[in-house]
Structure 1
Amino acid sequence: MIEIKNVTKSYRRRTVLDQISLTARPGEVTGFVGPNGAGKSTALRTILGLSRPSSGTATILGKPYAALDHPARRVGAMLDPEALPGYLRGIDLLRWYAAAAGIDSARIGQILERVELADNARKRINSYSLGMRQRLGLAVALLGDAEIVILDEPTNGLDPAGIRWLRELLHQLAEHGRTVLLSSHLLSEVQQLADHIVVISRGTIVADGTLTDLAGEDDLESVFFDLTGDER
């Protein structure tokens, strides 16, 4: 389980996150959605210990990320596929990551097949399309068979068939008891992918619930578009 409790993050005089709370549970895909600049990536970085909150707590399995035993094997994360080192071949990146995290390298072939990248694994990453980089980043996140999977904008660069494939993959993970948290600025995609949705705007949580719950209170698209104004 992932828990953010009353987290505020400020940079000098600018507040990026304002007392946000969020829970992502095992067996569910939780979608974290909001317009660009709403604070999604900062929240994910806080969960992963890459950004220290000004106040509040962010925990994974009841502990801060850095306090977990073998965190790279318990948490699989993909934050920015554009940052992958282009001079490496895809398979070399996975070999390096497996060695660094103490993961059995026998899983590499299995994961490449699972993300449908086996035929391109020996190409250099700088020759990959954005969609292929997304799949490679997802391979890194899945390599350790982690209990927790955190993905930042995983649908970027994927075509409609790729998004359907991703939906099936994420729900398979949830069905096996994994906790899956993904962010997106596109509500329509999160509605296809997630069981539970948390909406953030200007660093504040403005809606939190299942699709059924949120549709019962208000039209979710109206809530979201009222915040963004230009996302239609």
Structure 2
Amino acid sequence: MEKIVLKAQNLSKRFGNQLVFKDFSFELEGPGLYAITGRNGSGKSTLLKILCGLLAPTAGEVKPLIDGVQITERFTSLISIATPYQELPEELSLKELVDFYAAFRALQLPNTDDLYINFQLPITGQKPIKSFSSGMKQRVRLGLAIYTQVPFLFLDEPTSNLDATGVQWYKSLVLEQLPKKLIVVSSNHLPDEYPNARGIFEIQ
């Protein structure tokens, strides 16, 4: 099994004159799940974006490694991410969206005969994504990210807009992935979002 490591070294982020966080360092070793927790506005989502390469730090460095080899230019091809603010192509149906996504990313769906079982959604046929509720859209975001075959998985407040059944579905998916991936979750101190976490890092 691959040894998956993500190192954060003295990370700082500033937006104009506002310092979000300073000198944040840790080393995450996977497979396994780690949580970044903090109150609203503490900078946890910003830190998650920096860790997965969507945002540059003001200072410091992020080093992803697989079996001791640092990953540089192709890191974005080795990650998947789900956030509640992530836009979906809402004119597509669920099948059209999954087919489009699978043309670019390798998906491992447990039930290839029934997409609605995979995402635990009511049967929508050719209805476009724009007709889905906020909770249904969040299930689609999470399912696509979690089922993507990559070693690094980043989840920002993953249970946003989910009902109790959706939270249990999310937890079961994440627990299945624990032996396979390095998973980083940002959360407002909601333990259901980071089951069996190997480490929890608090942003004050």
Q: Give the TM-score band, short-chain normalised.
A: 0.7 to 0.9
User: Contact 1:167–1:193 at 8 Å: present in 2 too?
Assistant: no
1:197 aligns to what? 200
User: Contact 1:39–1:200 at 8 Å: present in 2 too?
Assistant: yes
Q: How far does the alpha carbon of each residue in 1:51-98 deviate from its partner, in whole angstroms, 9 at most, with x for none?
A: 11111111333646x6126x33x2111123552232222222222222
**Cα 1:197/1:122, change in 2 over 3 Å:** farther
Tell me which protein shows more helix as a share of its residues: 1
CA distance in 2, matches of 1:88, 1:108: 22
Report how many aligned residue pairs link the two structures: 195
CA distance in 1, matches of 2:176, 2:21: 31
CA distance in 2, matches of 1:186, 1:60: 26
User: Contact 1:148–1:179 at 8 Å: present in 2 too?
Assistant: yes
Structure 2 residue 51 is matched with structure 1 residue 47? yes
Structure 2 residue 84 is matched with structure 1 residue 77? no
User: Can you give the 5+ residue segments of structure 2 that lack an aligned partner in the other structure?
Assistant: none
User: Contact 1:30–1:197 at 8 Å: present in 2 too?
Assistant: yes
Question: Counterparts in 2 of 1:1-232, with a 5 A limit?
Answer: 1-61=5-65, 63=70, 67-68=73-74, 71-72=76-77, 74-81=78-85, 83-101=87-105, 103=106, 107=109, 110=112, 112=115, 113-117=117-121, 119-120=123-124, 122-174=126-178, 176-190=179-193, 192=195, 194-201=197-204
Query: Identity across aligned pairs (percent)?
Result: 27
User: Contact 1:81–1:137 at 8 Å: present in 2 too?
Assistant: no
CA distance in 2, matches of 1:67, 1:9: 22
Q: CA RMSD in A?
A: 2.7
CA distance in 2, matches of 1:170, 1:92: 25
Q: How high is the TM-score relative to the length of structure 2?
A: 0.81
CA distance in 2, matches of 1:85, 1:108: 23
